Amino acid sequence: PVTPATWPYPRLIAHRGAGRLAPENTLASIRLGTRHGYRMVEFDVKLSQDGVPVLLHDDTLDRTSNAQGLASDRSYAQLAEIDFGGWHGATYAGEPIPTLYAVAASTLTNGVHSNIEIKPTTGDEEATGRTVAELARKLWRHAPLPPLLSSFSEASLEAAMQVAPELPRALLIEGPVPDDWQARLERLQCTGVNPDNRHVDANLVRAMRSAGYTVSVWTVNDTERMRALFDWGCNAVFTDEVASIAPTSFDLLP
């Protein structure tokens, strides 16, 4: 079970793959994280116009590809023509947008655990939660550990709960943690909560942990801060620093 005391996943999670060293949310970035020894990866998933789950952070294509406009206006076949690597550097020119299917194949082959962040295009919250969770339960059915599902969208988490209640869910929180966090987690039957590093302190982590929720903090890029968070009882952190922070740095902590 995924509880604070029995956290079965690695403590360090590669954010968006190795999403700064390589183009975020591509197979190249996931492979690079693996090459640095990371055994767990976080990536963002949304739907193409024809309902195919693909990896992309923003609603639009502008920042991380050579195209413009909403990803949800393109079919998967159209998205597959776009270059999602060249913006980062010539080494990665031509890198395609990965499907969730391709990422499952790659990570499961390499023994890498996954945190699937459900990142719906605005207005697509329910369909994205439902489609991603349905596919995830099929693709990971023989995996040693289930993928963790997370989202800032409560509507997406609710839809995921309805189709795949057995997959562990965490509510992502950006900015200050609302006073009613516990009621929100209960309603969505979450196993965990993923608060914003800029709004976390020792008391909050202890309260979340004693309420029975795993705590995974984003995004943490220095080891002193990681040490403090783990001392307070955090289970995991998401990091961009996959080249400079060894993935097993904190494995000997209790």
Side-chain-side CA neighbours of 65 within 13 Å: the count stands at 26
Regarding 241 and contact with ligand G3P (CB under 6 A), the answer is: no
Distance of CA 172 to the CA centre of its chain: 10
Q: For residue 239, what are the β-bridge partners?
A: 14
Among candidate residues 36, 57, 88, 113, the one labeled active-site is: 57
How far does the chain reach from its first CA to its final CA, in angstroms? 18
Minimum gap (Å) between residue 101 Cβ and Mg ion: 19
Q: For residue 45, what are the β-bridge partners?
A: 55, 118
- Residue whose pair of structure tokens reads 């057995």 in the numeric block: 166
136 touches 49 (CB < 8 A): no
- When CB distances are held under 5 to 8 angstroms depending on the partner's kind, the choice from ligand G3P, Mg ion, none that residue 84 binds is none
Minimum gap (Å) between residue 220 Cβ and ligand G3P: 10
Regarding 158 and contact with ligand G3P (CB under 6 A), the answer is: no
Establish whether 57 is a catalytic residue.
yes
Regarding 240 and contact with ligand G3P (CB under 6 A), the answer is: no
- When CB distances are held under 5 to 8 angstroms depending on the partner's kind, the choice from Mg ion, ligand G3P, none that residue 238 binds is ligand G3P
- Of 218, 230, 232, 250, the one binding ligand G3P (CB under 6 A) is 218
- Of 38, 96, 107, 117, the one binding Mg ion (CB under 5 A) is 117
| Residue number with CB closer to ligand G3P (15 or 209) | 15
Which of positions 10-69 make contact with ligand G3P (CB under 6 A)? 15, 42, 44, 57
What count of other Cβ atoms lies within 10 Å of the Cβ of residue 57?
Answer: 16
| Residue number with CB closer to ligand G3P (161 or 172) | 172
- When CB distances are held under 5 to 8 angstroms depending on the partner's kind, the choice from Mg ion, ligand G3P, none that residue 240 binds is none
30 touches 41 (CB < 8 A): yes
DSSP class of 121: P
Regarding 150 and contact with ligand G3P (CB under 6 A), the answer is: yes
Give CA–CA dist 175/235, Å, rounded: 20
Strands (E), 23-83: 40-47, 53-55
Regarding 117 and contact with ligand G3P (CB under 6 A), the answer is: yes
Active site residues: 15, 57
